Amino acid sequence: MKLQVALDVPTLADALELARKVADHVDILELGTPLIKAEGMSAIGAIKAAHPDKLVFADLKTADAGELEADLAFAAGADLVTVMGTADDDTISGAVEAGKNAGMRVVADMITVVDGRVERIKEVSALGVDFVEIHAGLDEQARPDYTIDALLADGREAGVPFSIAGGVSVDTVASVEEAGAEVAVVGGSIYNADDPGAAAKAIRDAMGQGAAASTGSA
């Protein structure tokens, strides 16, 4: 399983600083949606230029014009982009087409899909996305009864390649790996830590894989 850090910070300068602190311990550097909105697509290339040995993930959360938005992110240097799992099937297919043309990968973000999630995961997988991100967003995580367990159960059941995002921490990353995820996505547990580098290393160690390898593929 690979470890992806979500650089959910407001400026490119903050993202470059955070990436520098954690890069030794992660495989994939994610530009969070707010960062891309604040800084634009050029931030993708800046992160890639600073860390050419890492996969760069642009969390576009595209809801329409899938081919156009994915094209822009791939041209800017992204290795992977997200399209919303709730988007129109043609939007998802458009992003998949852009991925094929660029030789890069497309991930369907299943955020806000709760009822019927396994069925929709299978549908978007059949449209050709490379994997699905089974995801509880920050607002869903803030509810008092939130746990990661439903995400893991749906990953096990769906039978397609998946990542997990939704407050993954040093305490839960082993269960994400045990569920069969290709990628564990971690934001707040790293960027809110007093020492983000140490937090990333602790999560990597909890995965039992030691230091991050060079990342030609996820």
Ligand X SMILES: O=C(CO)[C@H](O)[C@H](O)COP(=O)(O)O
Q: How far is the CB of 35 from ligand X (least distance, A)?
A: 10
> Given the rule CB under 6 A, which residues bind ligand X?
6, 8, 32, 59, 111, 137-138, 141, 165-168, 185-189
Residue whose CB is less far from ligand X, 92 or 186: 186
Residue whose CB is less far from ligand X, 6 or 76: 6
Residue whose CB is less far from ligand X, 90 or 139: 139
Q: Can you tell me the distance from the alpha carbon of 36 to that of 29, in angstroms, rounded to the nearest whole number?
A: 13
Residue whose CB is less far from ligand X, 10 or 97: 10
Q: How far is the CB of 168 from ligand X (least distance, A)?
A: 5
Q: How far is the CB of 101 from ligand X (least distance, A)?
A: 25
Q: How far is the CB of 192 from ligand X (least distance, A)?
A: 8
Which residue do the tokens 């994400």 mark? 176
Q: Of 100, 169, 183, 98, which is closest to residue 134 (Cα–Cα)?
A: 183
Q: Of 150, 193, 156, 207, which is closest to residue 26 (Cα–Cα)?
A: 207
Pairing of strands 105-109, 162-165: unpaired
Q: Can you tell me the distance from the alpha carbon of 164 to that of 110, in angstroms, rounded to the nearest whole number?
A: 10
Which residue do the tokens 């290795």 mark? 79
Q: How far is the CB of 96 from ligand X (least distance, A)?
A: 20
Q: Which residue's C-beta sits nearest to ligand X?
A: 187
Q: Can you tell me the distance from the alpha carbon of 23 to that of 170, in angstroms, rounded to the nearest whole number?
A: 17
C-alpha distance from residue 9 to each of 13, 36, 151, 191, 207 (Å)? 9, 10, 25, 8, 25
Residue whose CB is less far from ligand X, 28 or 111: 111
Residue whose CB is less far from ligand X, 100 or 132: 132
Q: How far is the CB of 186 from ligand X (least distance, A)?
A: 5
C-alpha distance from residue 128 to each of 28, 74, 96, 98 (Å)? 21, 17, 6, 11
